[in-house]
Amino acid sequence: MHQNDTPPAPDLFTWEFAADPYPAYAWLREHSPVHRTTLPSGVEAWLVTRYADARQALADQRLSKNPVHHSEQAAHGKGKTGIPGERSANLMTHLLNIDPPDHTRLRRLVSKAFTPGRVAEFAPRVQELTDRLIDGFADKGEADLIHEFAFPLPIYAICDMLGVPPEDQDDFRDWAGMMIRHGGGPRGGVARSVKKMRGYLAELIHRKRNEPGEDLISGLIRASDHGEHLTENEAAAMAFILLFAGFETTVNLIGNGTYALLRNPDQRERLQNALAEGDESLLATGVEELLRYDGPVELATWRFATRALTLGGQRIAEGDPVLVVLAAADRDPERFADPDTLDLARRDNQHLGYGHGIHYCLGAPLARLEGRTALATLLRRLPDLRLAADPEDLRWRGGLIMRGLRTLPVEFTPEASHAAG
């Protein structure tokens, strides 16, 4: 029997935890809201699980994104960022690894090229890509929505936006596939894929410098701030982080989002009815709710204490890593009514799925566009979509930062038969 009737601390980072981490997060929020743990890699870190603490930590300037502040990094001279292969490919100087003033300068430059207006212009292209991918399986009556839909859509979308020519996009699909399969692990294949991507991007940037177009890479090259331009290395690291940050996240928004809708038939029916009536407002609040309920980024990326500080009543030493658990904060009952219930019409929904503060997701407008287009088109074209597996048999990826399914088998009436009927 446990003293004070406190249930025992849950095991973290097991397969069961990966399948449903929410009960463990509820325990942490209640009993150990700023919790010291040993990660599967052996690194010790603090997990922050309450909404108020999470929001504070994400905006706290004493927590640096630069891995030089990690005490273990100082001791061992190693990088620790969570992004596979970036160090070996010289892609470290990107937004998620730097602090002001460098972050402010680079973010201002990229914001000039990656504007909400540019994203909005891209809407017809995202719709076309979505329809083309659904065409690939709509008549089969079954599909793995991760491999046939959620995975290719964002990689083609971001390649198009960056200005990667169509004939090279399948190479990116292969490299990205390698990163998502083995992401986080120190496998040779990942490092090789990142190096190939890096080599390709360097060449593309060089080409676009001589022959600029209307694409994002040309925009990055052109963008200047008080006469300052991005160096070629900064532009390559920027293109890489846009690819990396915009890829697996969106795969998981489509995957986790579709899965949540299939598990909550009343909500899915409500959305389908609203779409059939031409009302897109539920789609907009719905995608935000799916991000809150089971978002793609389970833990925000690494932060390191630049000096000793107190967070949620807990003393954190200089050099300690701090990981903000977005998935736990977004189910905090102190902030959200009925946090474990999916409510697509939820209005008071300031979730942290896109982060908060100066590192708030730069690609949120593109992610929203892709998420809304993908989910609405799937439900419109395959109205009786259903899960073709026992939820218990579905496997979740084991990575630390991202949360997503390995496969999502579905079945449905082939599209050709309802066109005929």
Q: Does 159 bind ligand HEM (CB under 6 A)?
A: no
Of residues 63, 109, 133, 242, which one binds ligand HEM by CB under 6 A?
A: 242
Q: Is 383 exposed, middle or buried (0-12, 13-18, 19+ CB in 10 A)?
A: middle
When the beta carbons of 213 and 360 are compared against ligand HEM, the nearer one is 360
DSSP single-letter state for residue 71: H
When the beta carbons of 67 and 295 are compared against ligand HEM, the nearer one is 295
Of residues 48, 158, 197, 220, which one binds ligand HEM by CB under 6 A?
A: 158
Shortest separation between residue 240's beta carbon and ligand HEM, angstroms: 10
CA angle, 314 as apex, 312 and 320 as ends, to 5°?
110
Q: Does 258 bind ligand HEM (CB under 6 A)?
A: no
Q: Does 95 bind ligand HEM (CB under 6 A)?
A: yes
Of residues 331, 359, 372, 397, which one binds ligand HEM by CB under 6 A?
A: 359
DSSP single-letter state for residue 98: -
DSSP single-letter state for residue 147: I
Contacts to ligand HEM from residues 65-94, by CB under 6 A: none
Shortest separation between residue 292's beta carbon and ligand HEM, angstroms: 10
In 3-state terms, what secondary structure has residue 296?
A: coil
* φ, ψ for residue 63, nearest 5 deg: -100, 115
Q: Does 301 bind ligand HEM (CB under 6 A)?
A: yes
The stretch near ligand HEM (CB under 6 A) out of 23-31, 131-139, 246-254, 392-400 is 246-254
Of residues 241, 290, 378, 402, which one binds ligand HEM by CB under 6 A?
A: 241
Q: Residue 381 has which token pair?
A: 């074209």
Shortest separation between residue 7's beta carbon and ligand HEM, angstroms: 30
When the beta carbons of 309 and 361 are compared against ligand HEM, the nearer one is 361
Spatial CA neighbour of 183 closest among 291, 296, 295, 290? 296
Spatial CA neighbour of 378 closest among 148, 130, 143? 130
Side chain identity, residue 371: G
When the beta carbons of 107 and 346 are compared against ligand HEM, the nearer one is 107
* φ, ψ for residue 406, nearest 5 deg: -75, -40
DSSP output for 346-409:
--S----TT--GGGS-TTHHHHHHHHHHHHHHHHHHSTT-EE-S-GGG--B---SSB--BS--E
When the beta carbons of 191 and 323 are compared against ligand HEM, the nearer one is 323
Spatial CA neighbour of 288 closest among 351, 240, 359? 351
Contacts to ligand HEM from residues 103-142, by CB under 6 A: 107
* φ, ψ for residue 201, nearest 5 deg: -65, -40
DSSP single-letter state for residue 338: S
Please tell me the distance from the alpha carbon of residue 276 to that of residue 83, in angstroms, as a whole number. 41
Binding mask 334-353 for ligand HEM (x = CB under 6 A): -------------------x
Of residues 12, 89, 236, 253, which one binds ligand HEM by CB under 6 A?
A: 253
When the beta carbons of 95 and 400 are compared against ligand HEM, the nearer one is 95
Q: Does 399 bind ligand HEM (CB under 6 A)?
A: no
Shortest separation between residue 203's beta carbon and ligand HEM, angstroms: 21
Which residues of the shown chain bind ligand HEM in the complex (CB under 6 A)?
Answer: 58, 95-96, 107, 158, 241-242, 245-246, 249-250, 253, 291, 295-297, 300-301, 353-355, 359, 361-363, 366-367, 371
